[in-house]
């Protein structure tokens, strides 16, 4: 029988399909367990190896946990917040409620109300807090505390390869070519067209370089993808700019890159620059989301959302292999120092323990 008296925190996942939020839960529970903290998942769509509880187990949680005043219920979606409020305020379970927000946009009145019912808010960046603070204030003072804990990446999974040419060959890529990558869903909001246009400008005169685009294209964006492929064909660059579709082993493609580009028009957070930098790859990103916060000058460039500016900064690397190598080395050190999963897990646990003391 599962011992629920030692259970200190619940990480719900109320969505069957894999999403960024689901990946966050999957990535963070194991390092928290390694830190000797009993956190378990609740809900569908998660690997069976993660420690979990059932919905029936919730009725066994009226007793306080051993060594703490309350258990933590850490929501990351609106439906999870609503359920958490029900458990605490209707079922009267001894819970403290936390919500993580990554959004950099105005919240609906419904979301504002739910967030106001939380005991603590975790923001994934300092750029998120201005969208939260106004409705968590009373008489000019914050009534619900906010702590910034930035996302991290799995630096065991995302790590450089020592034999890049061989690695490229193993993926069916040209072992002698240098690669620029753009990963994520193919759609206008992700700026895939900016990337294609910048690559047409840049690679026409750099035949030893190639560009790869990885990511799923949903049915509503097939026409958009088709228009980009036509641009590439019209430029005579079908051998240099490649659409590779969706890949499950995406970490292996990061390892094959020499430059990574994020051309997004909007991002709430965006982990791909960190994943690329964790593989020792310098990154060029548009000035959206938290990119300016996570990509220092020695690790890459922040650029305008134009193909010309993107191309200009890519050319800086193409013209200087030394700069490319130096920025790649700094990028790897930067992520391993600040943006590991352990670093993120510890930041979240510090919030948990304050609420439970």
Q: 319 and 228 in one domain?
A: yes
Pairing of strands 141-142, 137-138: antiparallel
Question: How many domains are there within the chain?
Answer: 2
Per-residue pLDDT of the chain (357 residues; tens, 9 = 90+): 468 999 999 999 998 877 778 889 999 999 999 999 999 999 998 999 999 999 999 999 999 999 899 999 999 999 999 999 999 999 999 999 999 998 888 899 999 999 999 999 999 998 899 999 888 887 778 889 999 999 999 999 999 999 999 999 999 999 999 999 999 999 999 999 999 999 999 999 899 999 999 999 999 999 999 999 999 999 999 999 999 999 989 999 999 999 999 999 988 788 899 999 999 999 999 999 899 999 999 999 999 999 999 999 999 999 999 999 999 999 999 999 999 999 999 999 999 999 998
Mind giving me the DSSP string for 247-288? Answer: -TTHHHHHHH-SEEEE--S--SS--HHHHHHHTT--EEEES-
* CA atoms within a 13 Å half-sphere pointing along the CA-CB vector of 329: 6
> Which of 45, 43, 14, 50 minimizes the C-alpha distance to 29?
50
Residues 6+ apart with CB under 8 A from 59: none
Q: 35 and 107 in one domain?
A: yes
Q: 330 and 286 in one domain?
A: yes
> Which of 262, 322, 278 minimizes the C-alpha distance to 151?
278
- Asked if residue 78 is part of any domain, the answer here is yes
Residues 6+ apart with CB under 8 A from 322: none
- Asked if residue 47 is part of any domain, the answer here is yes
Q: 130 and 24 in one domain?
A: yes
- Asked if residue 158 is part of any domain, the answer here is no
Q: 348 and 300 in one domain?
A: no
Q: 126 and 74 in one domain?
A: yes
Q: 189 and 175 in one domain?
A: yes
What's the domain range around 102?
A: 9-152+341-356
Q: 296 and 226 in one domain?
A: yes
What CATH number is attached to the domain comprising 301? Answer: 3.40.50.2000
């Amino acid at each position: 029988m599962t011992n629920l008296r030692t259970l200190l925190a619940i990480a719900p996942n109320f969505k069957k399909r894999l999403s960024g939020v689901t990946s966050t839960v999957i990535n963070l529970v194991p390092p928290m367990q390694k830190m000797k903290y009993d956190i378990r998942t609740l809900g569908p769509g998660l690997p069976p190896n993660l420690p979990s509880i059932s919905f029936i187990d919730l009725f066994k949680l009226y007793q306080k946990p051993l060594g703490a005043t309350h258990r933590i219920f850490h929501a990351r979606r609106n439906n999870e917040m609503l359920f958490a409020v029900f458990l605490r305020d209707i079922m009267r379970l001894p819970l403290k409620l936390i919500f993580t927000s990554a959004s950099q946009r105005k919240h609906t009145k419904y979301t504002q109300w739910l967030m106001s019912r939380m005991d603590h808010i975790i923001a994934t960046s300092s750029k998120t807090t201005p969208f939260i603070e106004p409705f968590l204030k009373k008489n000019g003072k914050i009534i619900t505390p906010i702590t910034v804990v930035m996302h991290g990446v799995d630096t065991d999974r995302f790590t450089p390869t020592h034999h890049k040419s061989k690695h490229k060959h193993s993926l069916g890529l040209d072992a002698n070519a240098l690669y620029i990558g753009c990963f994520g869903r193919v759609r206008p909001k992700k700026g895939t067209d900016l990337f294609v246009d910048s690559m047409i400008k840049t690679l026409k005169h750099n035949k030893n370089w190639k560009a790869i685009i990885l990511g799923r294209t949903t049915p509503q964006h097939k026409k958009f993808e088709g228009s980009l492929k036509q641009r590439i064909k019209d430029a005579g660059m079908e051998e240099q700019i490649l659409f590779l579709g969706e890949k499950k082993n995406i970490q292996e493609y990061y390892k094959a890159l020499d430059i990574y580009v994020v051309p997004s028009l909007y991002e709430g957070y965006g982990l791909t620059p960190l994943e690329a930098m964790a593989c020792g790859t310098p990154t060029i990103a548009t000035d959206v989301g938290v990119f300016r916060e996570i990509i220092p000058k020695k690790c890459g460039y922040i650029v305008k959302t134009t193909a010309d500016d993107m191309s200009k900064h890519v050319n800086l690397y193409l013209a200087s292999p030394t700069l490319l190598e130096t920025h790649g080395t700094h990028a790897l050190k930067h992520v391993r120092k600040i943006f590991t999963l352990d670093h993120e897990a510890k930041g979240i646990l510090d919030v948990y323990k304050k609420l439970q003391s």
